[in-house]
Homo-oligomer: A and B are copies of this chain.
């Protein structure tokens, strides 16, 4: 066993350039799942994933069509009697806008210093390729002591609308002991991390309509409710003076933080100075009565993700716009439900929207929050692996982002997920100049080798 571990790690170190080549290949495919113009690129990324699984000798490899973007499946059932781990990943990415802020093309992966820049480098093509390469390192140098199933979807960045149906239909094929989900990240380069809770998401588009068409602001200014101002009024009323969200009943199902959990979150290395450095904000802010670590991980939030109205070009156009739009999303914690939050948003608008405008609310997507058991064989194998590679025990944290598949797998497959990953907080995920720290990525591949070998019963 020590021999296999050593030989697999030697394989990783000997094949760094080849691994990087594979990584660059998939980063060049612009698999933006929300963009109707990139359907073909998303399909191409799925085929690329299937081809890699076949190269690895996986069986039953198949690209399953769904209502939108395909799911890629493959399995390696070569260790009868040993545990089966389902490796989850997504091969789709966020849109690259604003394009003009990228220092190199989002789909032209470029290395600067120790970082590899490209959309999806961190979230999460890098993590999927790291998983593929860890399995490759073991299989090319010995025997895999566990069974593996791969579930690679193309809709994570749009809320995984087809995944629930797929999990239900393929429940037997996907049967396993637990899942590995490397779609989270580390608190810092020297701070290996396991995530045990994830926030959920409810994402809306609110459109406010005023006059039937754009109006001259001189001729008509003073008699119509400007829809951009009406939108600003509605949005600014969604928080109170304490930074609490005012949607009716929003906090009803929020699970209170226990004293023990607050103490644990207080031990995280991510202090205010860390968050100030990561965000570049002048000051931290948010709900009063909670620390920064609590606010980003264990408390729900509401953000504007985008806003558009009227004339936004250079110079001045004296117009009263006919409409205004905001993308509004909430991050949810156990036991909030995105379907409830949609109703609360409708109630808020019904109560607060003035009678001189019309409004429409689209429910763009949602994901249920999750919290999981920290003491299971999967988590123990990952904790040991991270400690071996980094030389320090991992941090356990609640993470602010949303990975709806974790709660879907709990609910539909009855399995827990080991949630980790090798992205860093300053990777600019969902933003221009997304990157992956390459030394951390290579360490991550080694950690995944240890993780898989640690699972041997």
Interfacial residues, chain A to chain B (CB-CB below 8 A): 34-36, 94-95, 97-98, 101, 158-159, 199, 201, 203, 210-226, 228-229, 231-233, 235-239, 275, 278-287, 292, 295-296, 299, 301, 303-321, 324-327, 329, 331, 354-358, 364-365, 399-402, 425, 428-433
Contacts and interface: CB of A to CB of B under 8 A. Distances in A.
Contacts of A312: 306-308, 325, 327
Nearest to A325: B312
Most B CB within 10 A of own CB, among A158, A220, A326: A220
Most B CB within 10 A of own CB, among A216, A354, A401: A216
B325 A399 contact: no
A216 B184 CA distance: 12
Given A212-B279, A329-B318, A218 B307 contact: no
A316 B217 contact: no
B321 A305 contact: yes
B203 A316 contact: yes
A356 B282 contact: yes
A295 B283 CA distance: 41
Contacts of A304: 226, 228-229, 232, 309-310, 321, 324
A294 B12 CA distance: 78
B317 A305 contact: yes
B310 A327 contact: yes
A324 B228 CA distance: 13
B221 A303 contact: yes
Nearest to A34: B315
B232 A402 contact: no
13 contacts: A95-B317, A201-B218, A214-B431, A223-B275, A223-B295, A228-B326, A235-B236, A306-B309, A306-B311, A306-B321, A307-B308, A308-B308, A318-B402
Contact of A314 (B34, B282, B315, B433): B34
A224 B316 contact: no
Nearest to A203: B316
Contact of A223 (B212, B286, B318, B326): B286
A223 B305 contact: no
A365 B317 CA distance: 11
A167 to B, nearest CB: 21
A43 B282 CA distance: 46
B400 A220 contact: yes
